[in-house]
Amino acid sequence: MLRRPGLYAALAALAVSACATPRKADVALPAAFEAPASAPAGALALDTWWTAYDDPELTALIEQALLRNPDIRTARARLDEVKAQRTSAILQYLPQGDATASGRRADTEQIGGSAASIPGFNTSGVSKQYQGTFNVSWEIDPWGRAFAAYRSANAEVDRVRFAYEVTRAQLAADTADAWFQARGLAIQLADARETARIQQELYDIAAKRAAIGLAAGSEPDRVAGDLAQAQAQVAALEAQLQVQKRAILVLTGRIVEPTANTNAPPEAGQAPAVPATLPSELLQRRPDVRQAQAAVRSAAGQQRLAQLAFFPTFTFSPGLGWSRIEQPGFSSETQNWSIGGSIMQPVLSIPRLLSELKVQNARTEQAVTAYEKTVQTAFQEAEGALVNLDADRRRVTLLADGEARARRAYEAARTGYARGLTDLNTALSAEQAWRSVRAQLTSAQVQALRRSVQAMKAIGGGWPAQTYAAAK
């Protein structure tokens, strides 16, 4: 029968030999996206994709957000914290020791006793004592604990750095999305004001025709109802646009500024072509994927440290000392040095260490699984954004042609009504048809812009991936 120390040693060997490294992640992806390629690779700099919109105001807003937004500042402070923690993790494996010094003075007056009158036995007077020591403790590391801790700490710094880049990429996308929403509202507001103007002109025409007996007296009242609705829509859109402008100012860290400082022109513009990419490039281009990779490395380092905890710990302890004592009729000064060491082999703590290793094994498996899920999510988001963007562009093309035709039909009907060639119903129906297509076109244009932002972010735009790739 094994003795208990032998049993613990066998358990330690079994624990260390099991699950030495995390399992290999399954990150297989299709060879290509099913969405059609939009533009040659390198057509624009994904690091600063927002400059491709040729919108100075958008570029300025994103640059301000990346500099002043509280989320960015928080992520940067978190990165500074983890860098400091990395230094602490490494320093614990270096020699540790502190110098100490002390001094003491005592004034003594002997006031009684038979020895007080005997020369040499009187203790009255001043005594002084000084002492200094410098003791060092150094854990000798033949098993590589320091290297494992260093690798794990570096991986943790990388994880937080990529989390910082995730925050930057998300903030850039949120700012661009909010900006294009504001421009969409500005377009709707301009359309609503134009509708109100047209309704006012129709009301004036209907009132004149009714006054001279060319139209029923109810026609002006009917147009007045539509005019009131148009004016109410103007008021509602003005409020929505102001709220959206405030949201943009909050994103950019300019909360104290008035919303009038943000000028959102009522123009949609066209979404730039998204560079053609391969699914495999997501592994390097997406900061969240790189963050998940670093999390696996960090967990693997902690797993290795948990395995090495079963091995003996060797501690080397040299020291220096000095002391001086001054008393009435006596003084002495000494100095010393010492050297020692110790070995600590886990025995009764092995069951606890086994439990901690199992915990770390489970955490490592979670990190690998999270990495796999992140890659799958990245592919889903990228392909979905590209497919939807292609559909949005085709939708904009179709609606643009329909809007031009509907506008010409309305202008003809309006001219005919003004000249008495058509009735009010024909003019209003033509206007309603045009406005409906116009609203759909505006919505499609803004949606295409917002979808292009999603696509840029989904394929890994918004951070300098090549910088970190070169650093590795």
Strand-pairing partners, residue 416, are none
| 226-265: pLDDT as tens digits | 788 888 989 999 999 999 999 999 999 988 888 888 888 8
| 110-160: pLDDT as tens digits | 676 555 555 555 566 788 888 999 999 988 888 888 889 989 999 999 999
What are the two backbone dihedrals, phi and then psi, of residue 336, each rounded to the nearest 5 degrees? -150, 160
Q: Is residue 460 helix, strand or coil?
A: coil
Q: How far is residue 106's CA from residue 320's CA, in Å, rounded to a whole number?
A: 26
Higher pLDDT, 432 or 96: 96
Q: How far is residue 103's CA from residue 108's CA, in Å, rounded to a whole number?
A: 17
* CA-based nearest residue to 298, from 367, 242, 389, 359: 367
Q: What is the pLDDT of residue 223?
A: 73
| 431: confidence class by pLDDT, cuts 50, 70, 90 | confident
pTM: 0.81
Q: Is residue 197 helix, strand or coil?
A: helix
Mean pLDDT of the chain: 84
Q: How far is residue 455's CA from residue 439's CA, in Å, rounded to a whole number?
A: 24
For residue 200, the one-letter residue type is Q
Q: What is the pLDDT of residue 19?
A: 47
Structure tokens at 116: 């007080």
The CATH number linked to 266 is 1.20.1600.10
Residue identified by tokens 């060639």 is 421
Q: Using alpha carbons only, what angle is made at residue 127 by residues 122 and 133, rounded to the nearest 5 degrees? A: 145
- The answer on pLDDT for 2 being more than 50 is no
DSSP per residue, 133-179: EEEEEEEE-TT-HHHHHHHHHHHHHHHHHHHHHHHHHHHHHHHHHHH
Q: What is the mean pLDDT of residues 4-26?
A: 58
**Quick one: angle between helices 350-418 and 287-308, nearest 10?**
170
In a domain, 5, yes or no: no
Q: What is the mean pLDDT of residues 40-67?
A: 85
| 396-416: pLDDT as tens digits | 889 889 888 888 888 888 788
| 279-321: pLDDT as tens digits | 888 888 899 999 999 999 999 999 999 999 999 999 989 999 9
| 46-55: pLDDT as tens digits | 889 999 898 9
In a domain, 392, yes or no: yes
Q: How far is residue 380's CA from residue 384's CA, in Å, rounded to a whole number?
A: 6
Q: pLDDT above 90 covers what percent of the chain?
A: 40
- The answer on pLDDT for 332 being more than 90 is no
Task: Find out whether 99 and 132 touch, Cβ atoms under 8 Å.
Answer: yes
| 345-391: pLDDT as tens digits | 999 999 999 999 999 999 999 999 999 999 999 999 999 999 999 99
Range of the domain at 205: 26-108+123-471
Backbone torsion region of residue 330, taken as left when φ is above 0, otherwise alpha when ψ lies between -120 and 50, otherwise beta: beta
Q: pLDDT above 70 covers what percent of the chain?
A: 86
| 420: confidence class by pLDDT, cuts 50, 70, 90 | confident
Number of domains in the chain: 1
Higher pLDDT, 13 or 425: 425
DSSP per residue, 357-394: HHHHHHHHHHHHHHHHHHHHHHHHHHHHHHHHHHHHHH
Torsion of CA 425, 431, 435, 441, to 10 degrees: 120
Q: What is the pLDDT of residue 1?
A: 41
- The answer on pLDDT for 8 being more than 50 is no
- The answer on pLDDT for 90 being more than 60 is yes
In a domain, 17, yes or no: no
